[in-house]
Structure 1
Amino acid sequence: MTSKDAQGHNTDEGNKLEDMTSQFVHRVDDDPNVMEELLSDSENPLYEGCKYAKLSASLKLYNLKVGHSWTDKSFTALLEFLIDVLPFDNVLPKNTYRAKKTLCTMAKSCPECNLSRYKKKEGVPAKVLWYFPIIPRFKRMYSDPVDAEKLTWHKFGRKKDGLLRHPADSPQWRFIDGQFPDFGSEEQNLRLGLSTDGINPYSSLSSIRSTWPVMLVAYNLPPSLCMKRKYIMLSMLISGPKQPGNDIDVYLAPLIDDLKLLWEEGVEVFDANRNEIFNLRAMLFCTIQDYPAYGNISGYSVKGEGGCPICEDGWKGKWFSASRKTVYYDHRPFLPLDHKYRRMKKAFNGEHNFESRPKVFTSQEVFEKVKDIQLTFGKLKKNKDAIPKKGYKKCCDFWRLPYWRFLFVRHSLDIMHIEKNVFDSLIGTLLNISGKTKDGVNARLDLKEMNMRNELHAVETGKQDYLPPAAYTLSKNEKVELCASLAGGA
């Protein structure tokens, strides 16, 4: 609930804005111009007798814009209408650009981190990075006694029965406690997860715009909270006409600088739950993304013959000319040596397979491979020959973190994303949906190229090739039963 004073002002919102303003004023004493502009916008009323100031009104309206997904054009139209409705001496921003400029007074710099929130990539003016410093936000989390108590759940509230329910139950968590006892022994220290992916901000697949939000979550929190919207922290926004691709390290640099500071030195933070000041340290526990973003983040080429960043050259795919793609098949080396599938021929490629699984390289071994890779970032022609077509193509910026080379799992895959894609492929194939099925003429031609499953090879009939039914081919009634079952009707 919100409270109001005698004049009907929303005191909760007013107090929050006043606290934000006062905290910011103390941080920009060395920049009088910024401080003067901020105080002017926060104190001068929107018009004579108005309870809102220019800054608070702009903030309120912009929150409505973001909350209801208004476009810049519609927001400008609203501002123009309000200017006509309000008294002539009002100082409301005239358009979206001026509203953003007013709010950017609060976001021009963060002296605690000594980093600009608004950055442009050198040489590429169309690419913009918004970086939102994480250290002040961690301080605000610990300034709330309820949140400060929740951030120690992994130590005092977790059920320790050997089952894996949370990253705190993982071997990597226990390894960090043993490898870095000075960090692991302090339950207030944070272990973070980072996630990023490209989105289309205009909900139109034809748009050429690309936006990459970089999110952070605190794994100190219980599983019911750490993925809630309230506790997911937007640390940066990479916006531009094209995705960052291999150059994403350029944009992650300020965030990694903060993470390095939080690991090596820490920052003084007040814990409202314990009513004490302590030195907060934090580490990046792992990253989470889909497979294409995995390649951008880790620096490994996830396409081509050796597209697995875990097995690397130990597990290679084969190019099939009909489908025009590299296929990784016969995964029997990953099965136990005495598994019955290893002795099967017809069900696979017509041969036994008793190969051992590929070697998994440790983080230290990977670091030795990539530490000397020199790369000039940017979409320059000179890099086409410098970047290898397979394997590691760069030494990603995360290696600057001192603990990164010791982690078991550095990069994780978004399992929900993968499950959706696999499910779509299975259903598309079972229902034989045009454009969605993975079983077509090209797939049957690939079988012929592999010289296996002769009974499934496409038969030329003149106008259209005939595809013999496979074991998974469903009749119309069976498709109806499958759909009814998935819909919960059977």
Structure 2
Amino acid sequence: MASDRSWISRSRYNESRYLTVEYKNGVDDFIKFACENLRGGSDGLIRCPCGNCKNKHYKNPIAVKLDLYRYGIMQWYTIWTAHGEKMPEENIGTSTRNVGDGDVDMYYDADDMLRDIGEANRYCEKMDDEPNPAAKEFYKMLHSASEPIYPSNVNYTTFEFVNELLHFKNKHNCSNNGFDELLKLIGSVLPDNHKLPQTYYAVKNMLKGLNLGYEKIDACENDCMLFYMENSEKTRCDICNESRYKEPKDLNKKKISRKVLRYFPLTLRLQRLFMAGKTAKCMRWHHDRNVVEGELSHPADGDEWKQFDHRFPKFSKEIRNVRLGLFKRDSKCETRPFH
């Protein structure tokens, strides 16, 4: 930290209940720092670290300054990582604060990811290669989801508001029909030109571009086998002979599986990690880190990783390739390459 941040932890009022000169100067330093470190595509907006917004919302610098005067700055926010400042090496990975307390700069939220990808999209538009169909679908979702939930709203984008509602649905175990009614109720009090989807089905379609869904695979009720690939057409388990489906009450209705495995494909999720600047940097940290001889700062310093590099030299040359640790039944761990 280049400047003195002690003003953050002190009272912003003097004995006469006026803002202190120290606090005002500190706020001015913060606004100057945040504006100098604006990222491309931010449209001049910066995160507001006041006690009310807690870095969740983007506002223009004047509005941020007024909020900091009114609500004060978050007293733990002494390293301005959400505004372009780099975390000191000794502090990386040591934070134990609760995300629920507003510590959004200690994790990478969806809005940051969308902004990063928006910048990458503008860069790709200058290149000759066309984005693949999956990327086009994602950028389409990105464009619509980055708009305010209704014009003039500075607190929520469509994506952010829908994400909050999905969190509410999951937290309170809300049924799909109940969620539909909630969407319609909220939509009825929003301005006519709002962007909020009216059904849960529409919400799922809006987020489809993220490619973060799952596949359903029927499984044996006793966990003997999966009805998958060459076994996908079988109706009974090869091991215990249990039926794949429940006894039907109506032969004309669709069969219901006794047990279903939900499989989350890994490839698309790994691709998403490289689509956001901050997480992409973490994925490459094994290569970009500062190596201190005799100290273990990453598994790459260990003999197993070095042996892996020697065994798969072609794979090791590409620093973006991902390595997975697979646990065997004898409790020994072996690392495998993953393209």
TM range, normalised to the smaller chain? 0.3 to 0.5
Q: Which has the higher strand share?
A: 1
Give the structure-1-normalised TM-score.
Answer: 0.29
Name which one, 1 or 2, has greater alpha-carbon Rg.
Answer: 1
